[in-house]
Amino acid sequence: MKTSASNPMNKAHSSPRCLARTRRGTLCQCPALRGRTRCKLHGGKTQGGGAPVGNKNRLVHGRHSRAHREAMALIRQFQRAARDCLDPG
Ligand SMILES: [Zn+2]
Protein backbone atom coordinates (compact mmCIF):
# COMPACT_ATOMS: atom_id res chain seq x y z
CA MET A 1 0.00 0.00 0.00
CA LYS A 2 1.24 3.42 -0.93
CA THR A 3 1.63 5.78 2.03
CA SER A 4 2.37 9.44 1.73
CA ALA A 5 2.23 12.36 4.12
CA SER A 6 -0.16 14.23 1.87
CA ASN A 7 -2.80 11.47 1.92
CA PRO A 8 -5.66 12.68 4.19
CA MET A 9 -6.63 9.07 5.01
CA ASN A 10 -3.40 8.66 7.00
CA LYS A 11 -4.89 10.80 9.76
CA ALA A 12 -8.14 8.82 9.70
CA HIS A 13 -6.36 5.50 9.89
CA SER A 14 -4.18 6.67 12.77
CA SER A 15 -7.22 7.63 14.92
CA PRO A 16 -7.78 5.77 18.21
CA ARG A 17 -9.39 2.36 17.74
CA CYS A 18 -12.19 0.65 19.67
CA LEU A 19 -10.75 -1.98 21.98
CA ALA A 20 -14.02 -3.82 22.65
CA ARG A 21 -13.83 -7.59 22.32
CA THR A 22 -16.03 -9.07 19.61
CA ARG A 23 -17.86 -12.39 19.66
CA ARG A 24 -14.95 -13.88 17.75
CA GLY A 25 -12.61 -12.83 20.54
CA THR A 26 -10.79 -10.27 18.45
CA LEU A 27 -10.64 -6.54 19.04
CA CYS A 28 -13.28 -4.42 17.29
CA GLN A 29 -10.79 -1.88 15.90
CA CYS A 30 -13.49 0.40 14.49
CA PRO A 31 -12.62 4.08 14.91
CA ALA A 32 -13.47 5.16 18.46
CA LEU A 33 -15.73 8.15 18.95
CA ARG A 34 -14.02 11.45 19.64
CA GLY A 35 -12.78 11.57 23.22
CA ARG A 36 -13.92 7.99 23.86
CA THR A 37 -12.29 4.60 23.84
CA ARG A 38 -15.19 2.73 22.22
CA CYS A 39 -16.94 2.94 18.84
CA LYS A 40 -20.61 3.75 18.30
CA LEU A 41 -21.47 0.05 18.28
CA HIS A 42 -19.78 -0.70 21.59
CA GLY A 43 -21.14 1.94 23.94
CA GLY A 44 -19.07 4.92 22.83
CA LYS A 45 -22.10 7.21 23.07
CA THR A 46 -23.11 6.27 26.62
CA GLN A 47 -22.29 8.70 29.39
CA GLY A 48 -22.07 6.16 32.20
CA GLY A 49 -23.48 2.68 32.59
CA GLY A 50 -25.20 0.89 29.77
CA ALA A 51 -28.45 0.14 31.58
CA PRO A 52 -31.39 2.53 31.15
CA VAL A 53 -32.33 4.81 34.05
CA GLY A 54 -34.95 3.27 36.30
CA ASN A 55 -34.42 -0.27 35.08
CA LYS A 56 -37.57 -2.21 35.92
CA ASN A 57 -35.89 -5.58 35.35
CA ARG A 58 -34.25 -5.17 38.73
CA LEU A 59 -37.60 -4.61 40.48
CA VAL A 60 -37.63 -6.24 43.92
CA HIS A 61 -41.13 -7.08 45.12
CA GLY A 62 -40.30 -9.25 48.15
CA ARG A 63 -42.52 -12.16 47.13
CA HIS A 64 -39.66 -14.60 47.52
CA SER A 65 -38.12 -12.96 50.56
CA ARG A 66 -37.46 -15.04 53.65
CA ALA A 67 -39.97 -13.03 55.75
CA HIS A 68 -42.73 -13.53 53.18
CA ARG A 69 -42.05 -17.26 52.83
CA GLU A 70 -42.07 -17.72 56.61
CA ALA A 71 -45.35 -15.76 56.92
CA MET A 72 -46.95 -17.89 54.20
CA ALA A 73 -45.75 -21.09 55.89
CA LEU A 74 -47.32 -19.90 59.15
CA ILE A 75 -50.62 -19.15 57.38
CA ARG A 76 -50.62 -22.61 55.81
CA GLN A 77 -49.94 -24.12 59.23
CA PHE A 78 -52.97 -22.27 60.68
CA GLN A 79 -55.11 -23.38 57.75
CA ARG A 80 -54.08 -27.00 58.30
CA ALA A 81 -54.86 -26.76 62.03
CA ALA A 82 -58.25 -25.14 61.38
CA ARG A 83 -59.11 -27.82 58.78
CA ASP A 84 -58.19 -30.56 61.26
CA CYS A 85 -60.38 -28.94 63.99
CA LEU A 86 -63.40 -28.72 61.70
CA ASP A 87 -62.99 -32.12 60.09
CA PRO A 88 -61.18 -34.44 62.51
CA GLY A 89 -62.15 -37.57 60.61
ZN1 LIG B 1 -16.26 -1.27 18.70
| Residue 89 falls inside a structural domain | no
- For residues 71 and 48, what is the distance between their CA atoms, to the nearest angstrom? 40
* 75 domain-assigned: no
Is the residue at 84 inside a domain? Answer: no
- How much distance in Å is there from the Cα of 40 to the middle of ligand 1? 7
Query: For 20-42, how does the pLDDT look when each residue is reduced to its tens digit (9 = 90+)?
Result: 999 999 999 999 988 888 999 99
State the distance from the centre of ligand 1 to the C-alpha of 55, rounded, in angstroms. Answer: 24
| Count of domains for the chain | 1
User: Residue 50: pLDDT above 80?
Assistant: no
Residue 20 has a pLDDT of 92
Distances in Å between the Cα of 34 and the Cα atoms of 41, 45, 66 are: 14, 10, 49
| Mean per-residue pLDDT, 65-84 | 95
The residue range of the domain holding 33 is: 14-44
Report CA(76)–ligand 1 centroid distance (Å): 55
Residue 34 in contact with residue 40, Cβ under 8 Å? no
